[in-house]
Structure 1
Amino acid sequence: MTEQCNGIFTENSCPTKPLFDVSVFAADASARANHPAVSRFHETTLPQAQSIVRTGLERYGTNKAAIAFNGGKDCTVALHLVLAEIEKSYRSESPIQIPVVYFRSRPQFIELEEFIQDKIRLLGLSLTIYEGDIKDALFRFKSDFPDVQGIFMGTRCKDPSSRHLSAFSPTDPGWAEFVRILPILNFSYHDVWLYLKEFNIYYCKLYDDGYTSVGWEGNTVRNEKLRRVADDGTVKYLPAYLLEDSDDERVNRE
């Protein structure tokens, strides 16, 4: 399915080049701005995501939309994209009013849980948490928020079972009825990090300690591709944004 938002197509066009010049993250502002990957991001990838958010807000407003947030890097990008667009479109001194929901299906890292609460507090938002099976949790959310029709999510096309999705994807038959709004569907792994680093976004500290993808506490470890051993035998892990091959993003998850 192909939709068009303000002249920008929103079909799934999943990035195919996994290798990335991570030196861009250490470059000075001038060199970074002239890097082809950074230019492409600002000229194409980011405007497409912003357009999807604008279209979602035009369709549903803040009273019929919600934001799903689980503390991961992708959700953090989606959260900030939506809030930035709300700030532009709804210029008001009153606090942003849009439901933010966390579906917690399994035990999570304490660092991630602390980050979620801290992030929500710093942004002045209110968070609703649903425990247990995600399908059941969505039905409970629908019951509690019957007016919500669209949910902004941080899904990317490289995520499992996501290659068939488009920017506006209804939930599957048998699930609570929502439209999944996916502004970063076509972001690559390194696009996520370009956004977080370019805009100096506060993210979970697990990503600075060798975690490239965070599932839940029982299936996620540090990514061995980022493991380094010093001459004295000391082991350390590089931050997630220094992973060169995005195909290795999820090798740390069972």
Structure 2
Amino acid sequence: MCNAFYAAKVCHDLVQSFLASSPTSSLYSLKSTFDKDNNSVLKLHNKLQLPTLYPSSFNATLHESAQTQVQKSYNDFLSVLSHWDLEQLSISYNGGKDCLVQLIIYLAAIYQFIEVDRKGTQKEPNTIHVNAVYVHTENEFEDQLRFLEKSVLQYGLDFTAVYTTIDVNDSASSQILRGEANDSSQGRITCLFSPTPTLPCGFLTYLKSKESVKAIVVGIRRTDPYGATLKLEQKTDTHRGWPDFMRINPILEWHTSDVWYFIKWLQHTSSNSDFAIDYCSLYNDGYTSLGGCGNTVRNPQLKRKDSKEKNVLFWPAWWILDDDIERLSRVQKGKV
């Protein structure tokens, strides 16, 4: 388990390093073929049978685009922190790529606001309390759940998992996340059970357990369903049965290419540190948008043959970066 303060400091240093980096040192320019380095990134990419260390799209133009998106989201978070107390905020986190990006930037902004700008308040020195939540409405893949569990502890979150389809008495279910902590500054997992199997009821269950929370950070983008008309801060639709809270949407303008470039840059930069940034392994297997087991498949647009033209493989999610094909990993329930 990790102290949230330390995680926020590491994320802050990584974000500042990325923003200060030159587009001319893009990931693709670092190494176009495998030859010398023997690090974890190289081993992973070799295992995936990729022709080059990074795709040609990971160039200076994309580096600069991702920097622009990171800076905007970072500034938006600082603005949010200026009028919401940290205890009033929570972040929706399911271990997916979009949630991971916004979590890292959120932690970086918290450290900037509290430690660098000295604008926040802390009960004790070198402590940060970060609320997080995930409302489970489907049966997730085992790999996603294990990454979620691991990363919640790594980033030191006070995390609540709300189950809408699992009975409170089914404690043996593999879907139930595990986690313990000695104090609130370390990663902690609490499990709650919604009385009815709906997303709004799941959030209501959470808000009743965390009465201080008034706003929740959500990782939706413009290209996602229902994302086209959203603003940075927007109230829930209480007339449609949602509980009353403010939704914070800090990555609305991001594209899939920005998300993956930033994640892979973080992975590359932190690979030899004691706080290595990772992501759910399902993305390496051709899944581009993670839902439940019953409506998620490997993206058919990423299908390929191996080097001997015999076995069917899939490009990793970050190898072909197109918003239009990203959600082809999702299908109607019952048709997987």
Shared fold per TM-score greater than 0.5: yes
| Aligned-partner Cα distance in 2 for 1:142–1:124 | 20
- Kindly state the Cα deviation for residue 185 of structure 1 after the two structures are TM-superposed: 0.7
What residue identity is the alignment partner of 1:197? Answer: K
1:157 aligns with 2:159: no
Q: Does the alignment pair 1:69 with 2:81?
A: no
1:128 maps to which of 154, 160, 163: 160
Q: Which stretch shows the higher mean deviation, 122-131 or 154-163? A: 122-131
Q: In structure 2, what is the Cα distance between the partners aligned to 1:40 and 1:113?
A: 31
Summarize deviations over 1:138-166 as a string: whole Å, max 9, x none.
11112111221111111111111111101
Amino acid in structure 1 at the alignment position of 2:95: G
What is the letter of the counterpart of residue 29 of structure 2? A
What is the letter of the counterpart of residue 164 of structure 1?
T
Name the structure 1 match of 2:179.
none
Partner of 1:6 in structure 2?
A: none
C-alpha separation between the residues in 2 aligned to 1:153 and 1:36? 27
Q: Tell me the amino acid that sits aligned with residue 239 of structure 1.
A: P
Indicate the residue corresponding to 1:146 in structure 2: 211
Q: More relative contact order in 1 or in 2 (CA 8 Å, sep 6+)?
A: 1
C-alpha contact 2:286 2:299 (8 A) present in aligned 1? yes
Report what 1:218 is aligned to.
Answer: 294
Which structure has the larger Rg over C-alpha atoms? Answer: 2
The question of 1:195 aligning with 2:247 is answered no
Aligned counterpart for 1:179 among listed residues 228, 231, 246: 246
Specify the SS of the correspondent of 1:240: coil
- 2:322 is aligned, of 242, 245, 249, to 245
Paired AA for residue 37 in structure 1: L
Q: CA deviation at 1:170?
A: 1.0
SS of 1:194's partner is: helix
In 2: Cα distance, 1:33 partner to 1:246 partner: 15
Q: Secondary structure at the match of 1:162?
A: coil
Shift of 1:195: 1.5
8 Å contact kept, 2:132–2:160? yes
In 1, the alpha carbon distance for the partners of 2:97 and 2:81 equals 22
Tell me the alpha carbon deviations over residues 191-250 of structure 1, each in whole angstroms, 9 at most, x when there is no partner: 111221122231111011101111111000101111111335112111111114321001
* Amino acid paired to 2:329: N
CA-based RMSD of the aligned residues comes to 2.1
Alignment of 1:60-139 (within 5 A): 60-91=84-115, 94-132=126-164, 133-139=198-204
Distance, in Å, in 2 between the alignment partners of 1:150 and 1:115 is 25
Contact 1:52 1:182 in 2 (8 A): no
Aligned AA (2:87) = N
Query: When the two structures are aligned, how many residues end up with a matched partner?
Result: 230
Contact 1:102–1:130, Cα closer than 8 Å, also in 2 = yes
Does 1:36 pair with 2:38? no
* TM-score, L = length of structure 2: 0.64
Q: Structure 2: which 5+ residue stretches go unaligned?
A: 1-25, 32-55, 116-121, 165-197, 268-276, 332-336
Match of 1:27 among 22, 26, 29: 29
**In 1, Cα distance between the equivalents of 2:292 and 2:259?**
20
Aligned AA for 1:195?
F
In structure 2, how many angstroms separate the alpha carbons of the residues matched to 1:114 and 1:170?
Answer: 32
Gaps of 5+ in 1: 1-23
Report the Cα distance in structure 1 between the residues aligned to 2:111 and 2:202, rounded to whole angstroms: 29
Identical aligned pairs, as a percentage?
Answer: 31
Please give the alpha-carbon distance, in whole angstroms, between the structure 1 residues aligned to 2:144 and 2:58.
31
- SS of residue matched to 2:134: strand
What TM-score comes out, normalization by structure 1 length?
0.84
Alpha-carbon distance between aligned partners in 1 of 2:106 and 2:321, rounded to the nearest angstrom? 28
5 Å-filtered alignment, 1:41-52, equals: 41-42=66-67, 44-52=68-76
* Aligned-partner residue type, residue 30 of structure 2: D
